[in-house]
Amino acid sequence: MSSTVLVALSGGVDSSVAVAAMVEAGHRVIAVTMRTFCYAEEAATESARSCCGLEGIADARAVARTFGVPHHVLDLADLFKARVVDDFVSEYSAGRTPNPCIRCNTLVKFPALLERFRALGVEALATGHHARIERGAGGGVRLRRGADRAKDQSYVLWGLPNEILGRIHLPIGEMTKAEVRARARELALVTAEKPESQEICFVPDGDHGSFVGERHPDALRPGPIVNPAGERIGTHRGIARYTVGQRKGIGIASSEPLYVRAIDASTGRITVDREEGLRVDRCWIDEINVLADLPRNTWINGVLAQFRVHQDPRPVRVRLEGERSARIELSSPIVGIAPGQSAVIYRGEDLLLGGVIERASLLASGPAA
């Protein structure tokens, strides 16, 4: 049965093919491109070429014209700045490592688009994410990894509640990236050969440290770099330029590679150590969103945790503790878990829950700051 479906059309190849899929499925399609922070006058020239920049709008309009569907540009700049950009600046200034794409999906893109187009009879939202939604006979939904594991984006959707997932279509989730491009070529879409966006849309030059420093100068104030014994061995260029697990750009000569082990925003001190000093065997997450029927206050075994977008998942066990928190214990320690990052739990292809890392426990020294 056909329905009115809103398609989030960024001007990239994935969302372009998502429009095609919805049209071919017989839906009445309305395309929308979000106007976000990267349209601001102070944004760098590269912003025009980012996924949600001015070039993206032109490409989105051309794709919509190809299929004869209406195209809207929705100004979400204020909301995006308040919920994504300001948080990004605040988190880096606090020595944490945020994921702005997750916050955008959770707090801006999906809820805002569905709400603001409700008056036009929109019943569902489709996007070009490489992930899958499986609907059960009883109306339940499961969020699953995309068929192309190398491009899987389920990780950045963990914050969406089931009531929103139930109104979402992910039409390219069963396709590989190569198949998406091939389909775009068949349809002669202007986006068929468009490269993927690799950077944060509002920091297109990749220099997040300078971006944060322009808005929070104290985050670029130099401070001490110390070894695990607390001895000063150098000076850093501002905590916004560093993240836990970082190796490059520390600027300390050493016979062995050094990594950022901890960032203390209250003192402006960064601790570095050899790789073995960063091994983590457990962490605690807050702001959790549980998408499956899981028991509380008991260990859930046989699951995997992913701590970065394209990181290989690791065997863990997890325990839900309270309404919005959980504890994760790894089968073997890993390096580079940073507060502020997201930890997402899977069983097989199914995403069970996700949350924001509040703290991690270094193997040799107990909970890190």
Q: Which residues carry out catalysis?
A: 104, 201
Task: Report the SS3 class of residue 126.
Answer: strand
Beta strand 223-226 with 269-273 is parallel
Q: What is the DSSP letter of 213?
A: H
CA dihedral 83, 50, 164, 320 (to 10 degrees): -60
- The set of residues, in sequence order, having a beta carbon less than 8 Å from that of 104 and lying 6+ positions away, is 36, 80, 83, 84
Q: Is the separation of the CB atoms in 136 and 331 below 8 Å?
A: no
Q: Give the strand pairing for 342-347 and 300-306.
A: antiparallel
Residue 122 contacts residue 167 (beta carbons within 8 Å): no
* Whole-angstrom distance, CA of residue 369 vs CA of residue 342: 17
